[in-house]
Amino acid sequence: MASRRDQIRMTEDELHAFLDEQPTVIVATTGPNGRPHLMPLWFVRDGAELRGWTFAKSQKARNLERDPRATLQVESGVEYGKLRGAMLECDVEVEHETERVESYGEALVDRYGSGSSDMKEMFRAQAPKRVGLRFRPTRTVTWDHRKLGGTY
């Protein structure tokens, strides 16, 4: 008989579909004092990787410049039997080149702004002050309690 852990694990396709329907990811980086620094981030899934952007002077960006590792968490559900989520331990690439950072912003507009040309222009104007973030998972843990069919 499969363990509970195995029973609730998402397949890769289930994970991708789950990530595509979630609006934000919580990004945990290591702050300058060694404590976790957790912040929400808009993201776009690119295969198994996630991409986002942030202001270059943000604490999150500074943390990732110092230590390019992050743990991401995405979750949904309130009742135990409906809890779903994913934790992704990632190596992070910080992109500084403005043209590439613009492409990160455009992808976010396509996802969150329905491709609005006004929003794309606003994001392009912000690109010089931002960095792109590419999260490459090295370990992934998922759970979908709906698979238990109401049993615990």
Question: Which pLDDT tens digit goes with each residue over 57-113?
Answer: 999 999 999 999 999 999 999 999 999 999 999 999 999 999 999 999 999 999 998
Q: Is residue 92 part of a domain?
A: yes
% of the chain residues with pLDDT over 90: 85
What CATH number should be reported for the domain holding residue 24? Answer: 2.30.110.10
Q: Residue 125's beta-bridge partner residues?
A: none
Taking 90 as the threshold, does the pLDDT of residue 6 lie above it?
A: no
Contact 125, 109 (CB under 8 A): no
DSSP one-letter code for 119: H
Predicted local distance difference test score (pLDDT) of residue 152: 65
Q: Which domain holds residue 56?
A: 4-96+132-148
Looking at the domain assignment, is residue 123 inside a domain? no
pLDDT band at 48 (very low <50, low <70, confident <90, very high): very high
For residue 150, pLDDT beyond 80:
no
Domain count, the chain: 1
Helices (H) and strands (E) in the chain, counts: 5, 7
Global pTM? 0.93
